[in-house]
Amino acid sequence: TISQKALYFSPSPARKRRTPSPEPADQVTGMAAATEESGDAATSPAKKAWTEQDEPGTPPSSPLSAEQLAARNVPVGFEGSSKGRLRGEFRKPYFSKLMGFVAEERKHCTVYSPQRQVFTWTPMCDIRDENVVVLGQDLYHGPNQAHGLCFSVQSPAPPPPNLENIYKELSTDIEGFVHSGHGDLSARAKQGVLLLNAVVTVRTHQASSHKERGWEHVSWQNQNSDGLVFLLWGSYVQKDSATDCPSLPLSVYRGFFGCRHFSKTNELLWKSGKKPIGWKEL
């Protein structure tokens, strides 16, 4: 395990992978179940599927599968292979409460990322092909910045200071890297770099305003962590780890410049038989 400046690697052990046992079809909790209450008791989606009819006199509709029931709880904009692997998170009570909090916030103030961009990373790469996890802390809280990928901004917004510092480190670490002039990191996400913030929503101009509301409990990445390289950038995301990578951009001279995270990541991927990341692609 490597833990220098918040770069660590989980080597692939030689063991058989166990196939997870199927979840029972009637195990339903979370947002959908929480909103089905009527009268003295709540009617679960599974029971409702058995009892509702399309029209009077027609046979009862078929019961919904566990996957169909879980799909009712999938957040807006959550797409791709991650839906199936993370459906268990969506059914947990804390996630229902978290979604309710964010929805209420959007009624009274501007919240970033925009609702359909909170989970921008989900359709960009199959979750089984994710090899690198970059974890930042709070996302950008200004207009036209946050769009669901940590440290990334879409054109025409200029790269923020912390992203400029990342580019500076790339230019000294990766031979041939040229600053593109924009801040959109989608090309990295499509290569299998999971770009996440510890907290993925925020009030406009109020940094950390959605901290400790539940986002920190979500386990987004692939449940199989064999061979993943983790880059933890920011003191908040490192509080439970034995790493010392400073926050960006204010502490770059205390350790980020010269850390060579990008070339070290590719070296680890190559040693584990995985394709290195094309860091020059923007």
Domains of the chain plus CATH, in order, are 4-12+112-271 (3.40.470.10)
Structure token digits, residue 153? 């901004």
Catalytic residue, chosen from 26, 126, 138, 226, is 138
* Reported pTM: 0.69
Q: How far apart are the first and last CA of the chain?
A: 30
Residue 126 catalytic? no
CA dist 201 and 70 (Å) reads 23
User: pLDDT tens per residue, the chain (282 residues)?
Assistant: 333 344 554 444 444 445 555 544 444 333 333 334 444 444 444 333 323 334 444 444 445 454 554 456 788 888 877 777 777 888 899 999 999 999 999 999 999 999 999 999 888 888 888 899 898 877 899 999 999 999 999 989 999 998 999 999 999 999 999 998 999 999 999 999 999 888 999 999 999 999 999 998 887 655 556 788 888 886 655 554 433 333 334 344 456 788 899 999 999 999 988 999 999 876
DSSP 61: P
Helix (H, G, I), strand (E, B) or coil at 246: coil
Distance, in Å, from the CA atom of 21 to the CA atom of 184, rounded to the nearest integer, reads 39
Question: Which residue, 237, 281, 243, 242, is CA-closest to 262?
Answer: 281
Residue 65 CA to its chain's centroid (Å)? 26
AA identity, residue 158: P
d(CA 212, CA 228): 26
